[in-house]
Amino acid sequence: MRAIVLALVLAWSATASADSVTVGLFAPTAPFPSTSARVELATRLGEHIGKALNKTGSGKVFARGSDFGAAVKKGDVSIALVDAAYLAVAGGNYTLLAASVRGGESAPGWQLVARGADKLPGLKGKRVLVPAIGGRETDLVLNALFGGEVARDYFAKIETAPDTVSALAALGLGKADAAVVPRGTELPSGAAAILELPALTGPVLVAYGTLSAQDKQAITAAALSFKGDATVSGFKTADADAVKSIARRFVVPAKRGPLALPAIRLLVGDLVEGRTFTIERTPVTAFAAKPR
């Protein structure tokens, strides 16, 4: 009898698992105003994707990269909205489906925000916060964003905060001297952005494990029709190189020149993120010799 009951329970669990899908959310750099806002977005996205797959969809928010990675490994999460920077570090067997959009951009620029300093030299030997992406946050700041052009001991310490909003809140309370966060976020009183940094692809929608062509098409179509909130307004087709390009930026040449003053120099990353520049041309007649 016990064997029969156990078999029935296992069969029911397998059926329930086949008829449901869990969409995970691990996006610490996305500036959700609260945990409840993250939960609401994950829940709505899970239901939206579940409906597209004719399944019961649900959402689950993860605060730490280790917990998210464990859930993926156990198969508890098959689809996820996750920071591209985390994927660049963690890797894994996933299929990139779509890129989230915030403020019309899928790759927002970053910024160095500080209190008590108005230029980068004023932060030498100071403590800096950055959202935790699950590892290699120091390389994220110094290599991926600063391009390896400041020494690894330039800042006294690069520490992690649970997410972007937490990093800015800690800065506002005086628990750190500066924070490196995406642009377009509300800054605490007394803080100001003192340096613009290159753009990074934000959270992306991925599927873990094997995915049929039919399911991939259904999930992608559902994502492109999703209407979100101010933090994740929707999705767009993802650049196939979005994550790999970030991974490459985590490693820079061993020897780099000193970082020049931000006011007179553009970081290399600024030039490769699709920016356009206008060059004013002086008419040839302006150089004509004047009559004596």
Q: Are residues 118 and 89 in the same domain?
A: no
Q: Are residues 195 and 205 in the same domain?
A: no
Q: Are residues 96 and 14 in the same domain?
A: yes
Tell me how far apart the alpha carbons of residues 41 and 269 are, in angstroms, rounded to a whole number: 31
By CB atoms closer than 10 A (0-12, 13-18, 19+), residue 282 is exposed
Tell me how far apart the alpha carbons of residues 80 and 86 are, in angstroms, rounded to a whole number: 12
The alpha carbon dihedral of 156, 159, 164, 166 has a sign of negative
Q: Are residues 193 and 217 in the same domain?
A: no
Secondary structure (3-state) at 226: coil
pTM for this predicted structure: 0.79
Say what the pLDDT of residue 1 is. 54
> Does 291 fall in a domain?
no
Q: Tokens 């003192």 appear where? A: 194
Q: Is 184 left (phi over 0), alpha (psi -120 to 50) or beta?
A: left
> Does 264 fall in a domain?
no
Q: Are residues 242 and 213 in the same domain?
A: yes
- Final residue belonging to a domain, choices 212, 230, 247: 247
Pairing of strands 127-131, 178-182: parallel
| Range of weakest confidence among 13-17, 54-58, 110-114, 173-177 | 13-17
pLDDT band, residue 125 (cuts 50/70/90): very high
Q: Are residues 101 and 9 in the same domain?
A: yes
Instruction: For 136-194, write each residue's pLDDT tens digit.
Output: 999 999 999 999 989 999 999 999 999 999 999 999 999 999 999 999 889 999 999 99
Q: Running DSSP on this structure, what letter comes out for residue 150?
A: S
Give the range of the structural domain holding residue 238, as residue numbers without chain letter: 2-105+201-247
Q: Are residues 146 and 19 in the same domain?
A: no
Say what the pLDDT of residue 76 is. 93
DSSP E strand boundaries for 14-68: 20-26, 56-61
CA atoms within 13 A on the CB side of 257: 6
Residues in the chain: 292
Q: Residue 169 is part of a domain; what is its CATH number?
A: 3.40.190.10
Instruction: For 257-278, write each residue's pLDDT tens digit.
Output: 555 434 334 343 433 333 333 4
Q: What is the mean pLDDT of the chain?
A: 84
Q: Are residues 68 and 209 in the same domain?
A: yes
The alpha carbon dihedral of 212, 215, 218, 219 has a sign of negative
Planar angle of CA 59, 65, 71, nearest 5 degrees: 50
Of all residues in the chain, the percent with pLDDT exceeding 70 is 80
Instruction: For 59-109, write each residue's pLDDT tens digit.
Output: 999 999 999 999 999 999 999 999 999 999 998 889 999 999 999 999 999
